[in-house]
Amino acid sequence: MMRNIALGLIVLAAVGLLSAIISVMMGSTILGISAEEFSRICSNLALIAIALAVWFKKISFTDE
């Protein structure tokens, strides 16, 4: 279950990165959000996904 959440966050991070790239190429903002903000969102989502994956991996090893 947590793996699915982590994968979902990674997909959202990829969408954020693509939005940042498109925003830079268009030279404007998308829905009032700049490319830098999309990049920050992308980084934060990826870090949350990594933290969830590592945290729940450690919990599953200690429970056994």
Q: Which residues contact 15 (CB under 8 A, 6 or more apart)?
A: none
pLDDT at 2: 65
- Tally of structural domains, the chain: 1
Range of the domain at 57: 2-63
> Which pair of tokens denotes residue 55?
């945290």
Cβ-count burial of 33 within 10 angstroms (0-12 exposed, 13-18 middle, 19+ buried)? middle
pLDDT in tens, 1-58: 666 777 787 788 788 788 778 878 887 777 777 777 877 887 888 888 888 777 777 6
pLDDT of residue 51: 81
pTM exceeds cut of 0.85:
no
Mean pLDDT of 55-63: 61
